[in-house]
């Protein structure tokens, strides 16, 4: 489906001519915006004449007040109450790849619970040699690992199936965060309990559940459980925030966010999946003929331009413009991202800020000389399996319009000549 649309590159040279004149990493002097008699240059400012705050003012820092709009936001009609709730990461305003916990999206089925480390227990039961219960302190004594992974809710972009709907990348794509996790491989804990009792591990499953009222139970094939799943207790170096499952959560790299059980309390080894609510009536994908597809765990390759975008319009007029965005794949590393400014007529290979790593966000840039004309901006991700992110039309051909989850289509932003942006569909 996704590999039969080819690059058309006829005007690449023409397009790059302007950009080439800039020279690497420099901005044309004519487009710098400060003037010669700018009082911010010629006058001694107040902040240079008085002392600033002392080090005790912020024992734990918050963003400076000028950045107070860079926060999680929700969509009123999606979050009827704050118990079964969702909010979105402000990805239009972030750069790099790491999401600060303080503004990382949250999804709770029955609210965020407060669970003390002292009250934390993790049970491993079922087909194991010896059923075990770990305390938080016990977890801290197993060898740990660190990995950066994205967590994307399966419903991310789910409101966009039928048409362009939410006007902001925070709302269309913000059910994602990307953190550096510290934790113990689940494999280590399962081996501690012993898997001989399970016999042949092929076809075996685990069922994981959380300590909150929803319990959010999910079945995971043993192969994945023994591969890269972590029981994590730190994110970005610090304790998990309450909302992300303090004191410990499951990290299931590349797989839908729903499986990343927070406040993890139990892992049961089974010879079949449980077929719980969260994997039957929810988190299945209804196709055009009404049949539902299940076990769609991996998040397919996806990307989006985060700026410019509706919440991050162009304010500086024509000239040098940094186009930036995020790409990710639940099946491995991002290998390439293409960007088009004319709705897919011509594609240019974006610059990856860092080489892609497995199941983690990759930041991309395309530095252009904007002529001030309207653009239809899109990005297209490629991952290490050779998969190419599909257009909305291609995805609809296969999936129909009944789905909610797993919408990884190419997003279009219409950038108007005044720099404002709008969520649109083109065909």
Residue ranges binding Mo ion (CB under 5 A):
107, 153, 257-258
Q: Which is nearer to ligand MTE, 258 or 408 (CB)?
A: 258
Q: Which is nearer to Mo ion, 257 or 390 (CB)?
A: 257
Judge whether 92 and 311 are in contact, CB under 8 Å.
yes
Binds ligand MTE by CB under 6 A, chosen from 99, 157, 236, 258: 258
Could you tell me which of 290, 275, 270, 301 has the C-alpha nearest to residue 379?
A: 301
Residue 210 binding ligand MTE, by CB under 6 A:
yes
Binding string, residues 62-101; x marks residues near ligand MTE by CB under 6 A:
----------------------------------------
Judge whether 168 and 97 are in contact, CB under 8 Å.
no
Residue 266 binding ligand MTE, by CB under 6 A:
no
Q: Which is nearer to ligand MTE, 158 or 194 (CB)?
A: 158
Burial of 289 (0-12, 13-18, 19+ CB in 10 A): exposed
Q: Which residues contact 73 (CB under 8 A, 6 or more apart)?
A: 87, 88, 90, 170, 171
Residue 107 binding ligand MTE, by CB under 6 A:
yes
Query: Could you give the dihedral angle defined by the CA atoms of residues 413, 419, 420 and 424, in that order, rounded to the nearest 10 degrees?
Result: -20
Nearest distance from residue 297's CB to ligand MTE, in Å? 13
The residue number whose beta carbon is nearest to Mo ion equals 153
Q: Which is nearer to Mo ion, 105 or 348 (CB)?
A: 105
Residue 284 binding ligand MTE, by CB under 6 A:
no
Bridging pattern class, strands 421-424 and 412-415: antiparallel
Rounded to whole angstroms, how far apart are CA atoms 96 and 89? 14
Residue 216 binding ligand MTE, by CB under 6 A:
yes
Hey, which residues between 324 and 363 contact ligand MTE (CB under 6 A)? Answer: none
Judge whether 94 and 171 are in contact, CB under 8 Å.
no
Residue 260 binding ligand MTE, by CB under 6 A:
yes
Judge whether 345 and 14 are in contact, CB under 8 Å.
no
Nearest distance from residue 318's CB to ligand MTE, in Å? 39
User: What tokens were used for 149?
Assistant: 């992974």
Which range of residues in 67-75, 188-196, 209-217, 317-325 is near ligand MTE by CB under 6 A?
209-217
Residue 106 binding ligand MTE, by CB under 6 A:
yes
Nearest distance from residue 151's CB to ligand MTE, in Å? 6
Q: Which is nearer to Mo ion, 107 or 358 (CB)?
A: 107
Bridging pattern class, strands 121-126 and 264-270: parallel
Hey, which residues between 223 and 252 contact ligand MTE (CB under 6 A)? Answer: 243-244
Three-class DSSP category at 396: helix
Q: Which is nearer to Mo ion, 257 or 310 (CB)?
A: 257
Query: Could you give the dihedral angle defined by the CA atoms of residues 194, 197, 201 and 204, in that order, rounded to the nearest 10 degrees?
Result: -110
Rounded to whole angstroms, how far apart are CA atoms 355 and 103? 25
| Interface residue list for ligand MTE (CB under 6 A) | 104-109, 151, 153, 177, 210, 212, 214, 216, 243-244, 257-258, 260-263
């Amino acid at each position: 489906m996704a590999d039969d649309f080819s690059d058309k590159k006829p005007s690449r040279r023409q397009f790059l001519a302007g950009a080439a004149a800039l020279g690497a990493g420099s901005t044309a002097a004519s487009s710098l915006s400060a003037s010669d008699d700018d009082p911010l240059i010629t006058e001694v400012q107040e902040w240079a004449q008085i002392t600033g705050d002392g080090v005790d003012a912020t024992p734990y820092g918050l963003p400076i007040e000028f950045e107070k709009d860079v926060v999680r936001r929700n969509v009123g009609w999606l979050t009827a109450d704050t118990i079964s709730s969702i909010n979105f990461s402000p990805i239009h305003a972030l750069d790099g790849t790491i999401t600060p916990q303080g503004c990382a999206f949250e999804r709770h089925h029955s609210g965020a619970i407060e669970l003390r480390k002292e009250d934390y227990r993790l049970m491993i039961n079922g087909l194991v040699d010896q059923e075990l219960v770990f305390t938080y302190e016990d977890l801290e004594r197993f060898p740990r690992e660190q990995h950066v992974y994205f967590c994307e809710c399966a419903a991310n972009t789910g409101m966009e199936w039928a048409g362009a709907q939410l006007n902001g990348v925070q709302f269309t794509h913000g059910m994602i965060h990307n953190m550096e996790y510290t934790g113990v491989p689940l494999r280590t804990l399962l081996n501690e309990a012993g898997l001989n009792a399970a016999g042949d591990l092929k076809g075996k499953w685990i069922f994981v559940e959380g300590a909150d009222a929803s319990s959010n139970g999910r079945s995971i094939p043993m192969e994945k459980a023994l591969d890269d799943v972590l029981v994590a207790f730190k994110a970005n170096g610090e304790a998990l925030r309450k909302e992300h499952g303090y004191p410990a959560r499951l990290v299931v790299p590349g797989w839908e966010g729903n499986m990343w059980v927070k406040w993890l309390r139990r892992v049961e080894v089974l010879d079949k999946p449980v077929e719980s609510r969260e994997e039957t009536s929810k988190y299945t994908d209804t196709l055009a003929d009404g049949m539902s597809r299940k076990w769609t765990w991996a998040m397919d390759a996806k990307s989006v331009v985060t700026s410019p975008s509706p919440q991050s319009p162009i304010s500086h007029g024509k000239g040098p413009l940094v186009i930036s965005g995020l790409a990710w794949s639940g099946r491995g590393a991002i290998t390439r991202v293409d960007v088009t400014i004319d709705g897919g007529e011509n594609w240019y290979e974006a610059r990856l800020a860092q080489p892609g790593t497995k199941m983690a966000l990759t930041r991309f840039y395309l530095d252009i000389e904007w002529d001030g004309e309207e653009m239809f901006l899109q990005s297209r991700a490629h991952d290490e399996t050779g998969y190419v992110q599909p257009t909305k039309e291609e995805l609809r051909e296969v999936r129909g319009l009944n789905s909610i989850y797993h919408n990884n289509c190419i997003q279009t932003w219409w950038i108007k000549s005044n720099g404002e942006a709008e969520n649109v569909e083109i065909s």
